[in-house]
Structure 1
Amino acid sequence: MRTNFLWVPLVVFLSACTMGPDFQHPELQTPSQWSKSPAAAAEAAHAVAVPEPVDTRWWNSFGDPLLTELVARAMDSNLDIKIALARLAESRAQLGQTRAAEYPTVNGNASYTRQLESADGVIGLLGGSGTSTATDTNGLGGRQGGVPQSSGTALPPFSLYQYGFDASWELDLWGRVRRSTENAKASVDAQNEARHDAIVSTAAEVARDYLNLRGTQAKLRITRENLAFAQRTVQLTSERARHGLATDLDVANAQSQAESNAAEIPQGEQQEAQLINAIGILLGEYPQALAAQLKEPPVVPAVPPRVPVGLPSELARRRPDIRQAEAQLHAATANIGAAKADFFPKITLSGSAAMQATQFSNLGDWDARSFSLGPSISIPIFEGGRLRATLALREAQQQEAAITYRKTVLSAFKEVDDAMTGFAAEQRRRDRLEASVQASRRALDLANKRYVRGISNYLDVLTAQKTLLTNEQQWVDSTATISTNLVSLYKALGGGWDVVAEEGAPPGHD
């Protein structure tokens, strides 16, 4: 009896063994400050980046209620977010499947069979007498259930009733199941971060498309205003030509400019429709479903004067893609332990208990009981190199995941640096374009006055009109680009998923 109890601490000790390396959070050497901060070179009128906590509701900083509404609707209706949520549910179900291997399996069973034994089969080989009849009704043979036995002659058919249960449990001595569960948990974490990344990307795409839409609409407004001006110029030039104050060439040039302006409108309207459709898709709507709502006055929302960007050391904890890459590295590390555990024996405890009788009324008798209990062991002896190849595969996958994590971190810092640089540079570019627009307006005014007075020909007016239209459109493009660059910066910083995920996700999904 003492010997049996000695196995208990041994089993407990072996159950605590876990093969393979334990996951360690990667150590990052991050810079103490951003390498290129717009605050250093920004002028007084420019928005500047400040080392303050990242705005978790950054879309509100544009001061556009419609943009805020669209982002909120996208969080509830975007199909990519819903797909990510479904995949998260899948990974959690897979975790449940994997975790089930930690526990014993117990199955109940019941059966009824009507059976006829062959006289030339096993029963005949037993050499039973054809005239013997057993008095025990709970089994087979000479003393089993009253079934007559014979040698060389067929036996009469009989019935067999049975019910009971069986159980089995694999002892996780080397941690194979624990490592598999660890891998499944890390996979759930990775999929959850993929959902967070979908939230960040969706918010950024909605904001970017909305800002580009407002920029396109503003350019359309400028083009229509220039078209109206060009049409008035055609009328004026035609009137002057009738009085001999202008040539037919001047009239043709004026008409050419008007038609050129008119030709730009269909292209702008096409871009407007495409952007409205893009926003609709992000909100789970059919094409042009938001056309009426998005036909408001085309004003590009202004950027906030201060842009909080946090500290570089916070980026890895905030960016969902970095967190996802870390979880994938964790999962790959756990797989190594599971692969190493496959080299060792598998011990399974199995048992069954049942009641069996040839008469249904005898199923409750104590003599109808049967049971079995015992361990089984499976030892890998020859696998043709499969186990070693699997281990090599898992180790290579872990190395790949580690490199991917490093690449993801570097890419994240690059995206932030590029976004900061682009945000500051575009503000300086818009300053120059604004000065250019003012100069172009003065040039057009002077060219018109000189033409009316007969001092210069219409070519100067035409050139000034084209220059003004180009500069105004570039200024609008730059204004929209500043806003979209700010969206790219917010996306690169990874802000927004925590608030939306906390407030918008169904219960139990975080």
Structure 2
Amino acid sequence: MSRTFPVQPLLLSSVLMLSACSVGPDFQKPQGPGNAKWSVLQGQAAASRPEPWPVEERWWDLFHDTQLSALVRRVVTSSLDIKIASARLQQSRAARQTIAADQYPSLDAGIGYERARNSSKGLSDPSDKGVKSAFNLWEGDFTAAWELDLWGRVQREVEAADASVEVAENDRRMVLLSILAETARDYIQLRGVQSTLAVTRENLDVSRHSLKLSQMRLADGIATNLDVAEAAAQVAAVEARLPSLEQRQAQLINALSLLLAEPPRALQAELEQPAQVPQTPQHFAIGLPSELAERRPDVRQAEARLHAATAGIGVAKGDFYPRIRLSGNVGFQSMQLSDFGSWGSRQFAIGPQLSLPIFEGGRLRGMVKLREAQQQEAALDYQQVVLRAWHEIDDVLSVYNASQLRRDRLAEAVRQNRIALETAQSQYVEGAVDFLNVLTVQSALLANQEQLVESSTTVSLAMVGLYKSLGGGWQSIYPLATADAGTTD
């Protein structure tokens, strides 16, 4: 319950002379790990290593793949997810504008006409013979009102709204960062599948050659039907790998089409031509740990949520203080249109009002406790987001290093498998070994070649994951995205 009282001019003047203040705690920016260092990798270090140089914002250009870079530029202006996030950002800014309007006076104008008659049985004087007569009433006025924000409650509301806008901005940045990473991942996986297809078709040619060789030896009476059957089974087994790989290729092309807001198979002609998996550079920059909080949108967003929660405490505490509202009305009222606007038809009302909460049943105190608990949750969430970011970076660095070492060893295994296959084929022709040895070596070669492609793909995917975890990419391309969305950063 609250009571509203008229305020005398002398009392109002005294109140206005008080220094304006803002209730509630002021937001303190969380301190990041100022002197922290990246974790040192355990074990053998791979050839491509991170360096503490400034982070390359356009990290997709590090792959030196013009088609990948072109897809990234296109997805920024075409992605529906980015446009949806931009719409949410515009909503947040509009909501902030609505809240900020409480800082300023409001001014309204109105004009009206009505035909009326008083009741003879109501509050009018029964002796008045004119009460039953209908009359015209013309009215027009200007009304102004302004709530004085002496305690800073509205200021805290605007502060919380500004923080909410920052939350929406960083949500959009997270969407943009995720879309950039997803585009690069799908593209790299597509090239990996195409490389696997090339390896499989190469092995299919080898298997068919072995089948012809066994058939020729059977015709010469050197081989047996068992050799031919085993060779034919090997051909069929390799051929069986092709449909699933081709289906996966079509699926990834469609995934990229969806990111670009294109219909299925729209990029088929553009991307079905095989290309190598994009390779990572020998050295790459990961920046300084102290810069992480400024780069990662999720950390910035968690900080903004903490800011909004802190300002919310001030809003809740502001409800304990009186509200002073200045209002005024000036206009004209007449029963004849010819008199409307004349000096005699003028009317006005002006004066302040004070509203003071007296008894609310504990609602106000409960709201303060709620806002304080929400601030504690936001502070813990910020710590968790920062800690999760450190874990992500450390994990991706480990994956990147380990996948490089695995790739290099698989490359050596493939080289030795090729030598072994050539030797086994020569010995089979000479009759030194049976055909089972050839099949065994060929199967090992195919398996290691597929693993080599998969490992090379994993290396490049780890690079994408690393720059996503570092929060790089949205900074340089964000102006292009905001221009498309009609917003500014």
Query: What TM-score bracket applies, with the shorter chain setting the length?
Result: over 0.9
Partner of 1:144: none
Matched, 1:188 2:134: no
Partner of 2:5: none
Larger radius of gyration: 1
**Which residue identity does 1:71 align to in structure 2?**
V
Deviations 1:375-409 (A, max 9, x none): 22322233333222222221111111111111111
Contact 1:161 1:363 in 2 (8 A): yes
Partner of 1:114: 115
Deviations 1:435-493 (A, max 9, x none): 11011111111211121111211111111111000000000111111111011111111
* Gaps in structure 2 of 5+ consecutive residues: 1-7
* Gaps in structure 1 of 5+ consecutive residues: 131-147, 150-154
Between 237-246 and 401-410, report the one with greater CA deviation: 237-246
Alignment counterpart, residue 362 of structure 2, candidates 371, 382, 385: 385
Matched, 1:220 2:197: yes
Question: What's the RMSD between the two structures over aligned residues?
Answer: 1.7
Shift of 1:8: 3.5
Shift of 1:100: 0.5
Contact 2:324 2:355 in 1 (8 A): yes
Choose between structure 1 and 2 for higher RCO, CA contacts under 8 A separated by at least 6 residues.
2
Partner of 1:333: 310
Matched, 1:94 2:98: no
Q: Distance in 2 between matches of 1:35 and 1:232?
A: 51
**Which residue identity does 1:284 align to in structure 2?**
A
Alignment counterpart, residue 208 of structure 2, candidates 231, 253, 259: 231
Partner of 1:291: 268
Alignment counterpart, residue 32 of structure 1, candidates 36, 53, 64: 36
Matched, 1:42 2:45: yes
Shift of 1:244: 1.9
The secondary structure found in structure 2 opposite 1:479 is helix
Partner of 2:74: 73
Q: Distance in 1 between matches of 2:234 and 2:137?
A: 100
The secondary structure found in structure 1 opposite 2:293 is helix
Sort the Cα spacing of 1:204 and 1:129 in 2 relative to 1 into closer, same or farther, 3 A. closer
Q: Distance in 2 between matches of 1:9 and 1:55?
A: 59
Alignment counterpart, residue 285 of structure 2, candidates 305, 308, 328: 308
Partner of 2:454: 477
Matched, 1:427 2:408: no
Shift of 1:30: 4.5
Partner of 2:18: 13
Aligned residues: 480
Deviations 1:182-228 (A, max 9, x none): 00001111111111222211111111111111010000011011112
Shift of 1:419: 1.4
Q: Distance in 2 between matches of 1:464 and 1:480?
A: 24
Percent identity of equivalent pairs: 46
What TM-score comes out, normalization by structure 2 length?
0.94
> Where do 1:99-498 residues align within 5 Å?
99-124=100-125, 127-130=126-129, 148=130, 155-498=132-475
The secondary structure found in structure 1 opposite 2:221 is coil
Q: Distance in 2 between matches of 1:330 and 1:336?
A: 10
Q: Distance in 2 between matches of 1:333 and 1:71?
A: 38
**Which residue identity does 1:98 align to in structure 2?**
I
Q: Distance in 2 between matches of 1:164 and 1:330?
A: 42
What TM-score comes out, normalization by structure 1 length?
0.91
Q: Distance in 1 between matches of 2:230 and 2:62?
A: 46
Between 164-173 and 254-263, report the one with greater CA deviation: 164-173
Partner of 1:139: none
The secondary structure found in structure 2 opposite 1:485 is helix
**Which residue identity does 1:53 align to in structure 2?**
P
Partner of 2:83: 82
**Which residue identity does 2:33 align to in structure 1?**
Q
Shift of 1:7: 4.1
